[in-house]
Each structure stands twice: as C-alpha cells, then as structure tokens.
Amino acid sequence: MAGEPQDDCLFCKIVAGHVPATIVRETETTVAFRDINPQAPTHVLIIPRAHYKDAAALATAEPALAADLLRAAQAVADEEKLDSYRVVFNTGAGAGQTVFHTHAHVLGGRGLEWPPG
C-alpha cells in the first residue's frame, strides 16, 4: 500500500535503521543521507519516511510531503554551504531510477553542465 514501508525497499530499510547510511539531516517526514556513489563533491539523497514509488506518485498522493522534500533540499544545501546546486528526481527506470522509493538528489560543489547526462 502506498505510504507504507516495503520489506524489499532499501530506502525503507534505511528509514527503519536496518541498513546503515551516513545521515546528514532528519525531520519528522524526511531523511537525508550521503549517496554511496557520489556524482559530485556534495551528493545527498533526500527521501520521505513514507514509501512512494516515485516523485509523481508522491506529488499526487501527498503534495505537502513533496514540498517537505524540497524544503529539506534547501536545508541540506545551506548546511553544505552550496551557493548553487541541483535537485534531481529520477522517475522511472528509463530516467535512471534504480531504487523505487521517491528520492531527490542534491548535487553541488562543482560546475554542473546543462543539459545533464
């Protein structure tokens, strides 16, 4: 069921404390942690504590929680002292999503070219 923890979800296991992660920020609704395969000097993932498969599902079901993710992204950028940064949501396998639990990538600390990838 949407919003409920999934036994086979890596990010649900991180939220529950069953899988270690380098946590940089936590709120009542979100958890932010360092990516294990960073693509920039700062690469932090921000996830909702509730399980939604992707950003579209989250925005449809709980727009206030989607806004919480963006507020957390700004807070992480501030804490990391990033003057500029990118927030990326990969939605679907074709876009590069590999963990099907909504997550935002906060990338910064180097020049980020456009268009990406």
**In the structure encoding, which two tokens stand for residue 43, read together?**
């690469």
Q: State the Cα–Cα distance between residues 108 and 41, nearest whole angstrom.
A: 6
Q: CA-to-CA distance for 46 and 34, rounded, in angstroms?
A: 9
The catalytic site residues sit at 103
Nearest to 43 by CA among 97, 95, 88, 101: 88
CA torsion sign, 71 to 4 to 16 to 9? negative
- For 4: left if phi > 0, alpha if psi spans -120 to 50, otherwise beta; the answer is beta
